[in-house]
Structure 1
Amino acid sequence: MNSAIRQIPLDTATQHHAHDYHQIVIALEGRADFDIEGLGGSIEGFSGCIVPANHMHYYAGTGNNRQLILDLPADALALTGHHHELARLFDAPRFFTLDTPLKHYLAFLTQEIGQLATDGPVPSLHQERLATTLLGSLYTRLANEAPPGHRRIDLQALDRYIDDHLSSRIKVADLAAFACLSETHFTERFRAQTGLSPWQYVIQRRLEASRHLLTRSHLPLSEIAALTGFSHQSALSRAYRQAYGHPPSQLRRHPSTKTLTTNSKLLDR
């Protein structure tokens, strides 16, 4: 895949995806909102954002908008050979604002692309040259700036999502989509923030919910298991024994039974 430079409006309805090539988006007219692996921001008035390959990003344009988009595969001429250092621009997502010289170059670039396009497709080699100049200028300005820190996962919001779907099968991909992250980045960031894998965390929420129902209701164990996401009563009992060392029926008979410390055998599954 060669580098490609295009000018398009972004859909005003929120969209999301990830792709295997890097991308730079610069606002030419109007505004657009982005959330790139948890880093959120808006671009307008010749500001832009860097979207590294394989990063889940949510985006939406506002009203009449027009964006300049550069699609850059990892093996693009602008990122390899003598220009390999420019690939560091895509080490992490970030937002930026063009200074006056870059605004002038962007005006030239858009006019050049527009003029050449009247005679047919713009030669790919020429697009690579234009992209390389823009990337080199951005790199000069951003190389010494540390990328902004990532937003922490909102655990309170995630808890509400888990609790609302507790009786259903919850996949890590579902949690990652809720947090606007790819599954890989969500899992890494979640473990760094909580010390647990998403699976371990969901199991804890299920056990806490079942404990609440065991002590505050007279529902049969089979119904509590279904309400808290265990496939059947025996699965709930097995989870209790592995986590707390006793069956759930013991908690019902003796509500004062302490179950605050979980057994690592369950959480290491």
Structure 2
Amino acid sequence: MSSVIRQIPLDTATQHHAHDFHQIVIALRGSADFDIEGLGGSIESFGGCIVPANHMHYYTGTGNNRQLILDLPTDALTLTGHHHELARLFDAPRFFTLDGHLRLYLEFLTTELSQLDAQDARRDIDEERLATTLLGALHSRLTSGEIPSNSHRRIDLHALDRYIDDHLSSQLKVADLAAIACLSETRFTERFRLQTGLSPWQYVMRRRLEASRQLLQCSHLPLSEVAALTGFTHQSALSRAWRRAYGHPPSQLRRLGSTAVTTQP
């Protein structure tokens, strides 16, 4: 299956779904809010988000918005062969802002798309090349490991943990976590990954899963309530996260008792 690049507005009423391909969404006009399995954020012009395959995400467009959307199957040419390293972009959800050079490339990309003939047999190849260049540039920026000159100041993880735990049942946004550390979203995400080896989403998900495990072991609350208290949008989202992290549904923990073995995601 080939990559697909499209330009559409997002519905101003909240929608949600999951799909078996990766996705990148970049705001061309207006803004949109995303919640990707419990980690939320807003994208505005030249801002975007990465949605890994099979991740439930809620989204809402604001006003007269228009988004550039890249649908990227896991076996697309853009993510395989010589370009297999680009698949690392989808290790976890994240939000980003395009720099000046990438903004110019985005303008070039949209212009090129408008000139492609929908009936041309080469259109798929041309779209794949445009997508590969964009992903390559994003990959070099988001996984470069570059840090700002004041990087010696470490993020206070204890303060961050308190905030996450106090707001676990709510939507947590990268911007909120970054504000605790007094950093921009981009700097916070870069520094957080360098300090912990995890993306903010992976870290929050670990705390959600651990909190849900404790509730399952120490209470008789129904799974739907456990999901709500630990920030999962519904019971099926909790079950999907448990299967991905532990290899079994949360109900199995109760069936086997508190001695059931789980491992960190």
One fold, TM greater than 0.5? yes
Instruction: Label 1:81 to 1:200 Cα distance change in 2 as closer, same or farther (>3 A).
Output: closer
Structure with max Cα Rg: 1
Separation in 2, partners of 1:102, 1:28: 13
Equivalent residues in 2 for 1:218-257, closer than 5 Å: none
Q: SS at the partner of 1:153?
A: helix
Structure 1 residue 57: deviation in Å?
0.9
186, 196, 199: which one pairs with 1:148? 199
Gaps of 5+ in 1: 192-196, 204-263
Q: SS at the partner of 1:66?
A: strand
Separation in 1, partners of 2:50, 2:90: 7
Equivalent residues in 2 for 1:86-105, closer than 5 Å: 86-105=86-105
Structure 1 residue 172: deviation in Å?
8.6
Structure 1 residue 198: deviation in Å?
3.8
Equivalent residues in 2 for 1:56-205, closer than 5 Å: 56-117=56-117, 123-143=123-143, 144=145, 145=190, 146=193, 148-150=199-201, 151=204, 152-153=207-208, 176-178=232-234, 181=237, 183-186=239-242, 198-199=250-251
Structure 1 residue 179: deviation in Å?
7.5
Contact 2:12 2:61 in 1 (8 A): yes
TM, length-normalised to structure 2 = 0.63
For residues 25-53 of structure 1, give each alpha carbon's deviation from its aligned partner in whole angstroms, at most 9, with x where no partner exists. Answer: 00000111111122110000210000111
Equivalent residues in 2 for 1:45-64, closer than 5 Å: 45-64=45-64
TM, length-normalised to structure 1 = 0.62
Q: RMSD over aligned Cα, in angstroms?
A: 3.6
Contact 1:24 1:48 in 2 (8 A): yes
Amino acid in the other structure paired with 1:148 = S
Instruction: Label 1:198 to 1:265 Cα distance change in 2 as closer, same or farther (>3 A).
Output: closer
Structure 1 residue 181: deviation in Å?
3.9
Gaps of 5+ in 2: 146-189, 261-265
Which residue pairs with 1:31 in the alignment? 31
Structure 1 residue 180: deviation in Å?
8.9
May I ask how many residue pairs the two structures share in their alignment?
Answer: 196
Contact 1:200 1:267 in 2 (8 A): no
Separation in 2, partners of 1:94, 1:44: 14
Q: Percent same amino acid among aligned pairs? A: 60
Separation in 1, partners of 2:54, 2:100: 31
Separation in 2, partners of 1:56, 1:87: 19
Separation in 1, partners of 2:90, 2:97: 16
Separation in 2, partners of 1:121, 1:9: 27
Instruction: Label 1:29 to 1:2 Cα distance change in 2 as closer, same or farther (>3 A).
Output: same
Structure 1 residue 187: deviation in Å?
5.7
Separation in 2, partners of 1:134, 1:112: 13
Q: SS at the partner of 2:55?
A: coil
Structure 1 residue 121: deviation in Å?
8.2
Equivalent residues in 2 for 1:6-45, closer than 5 Å: 6-45=6-45
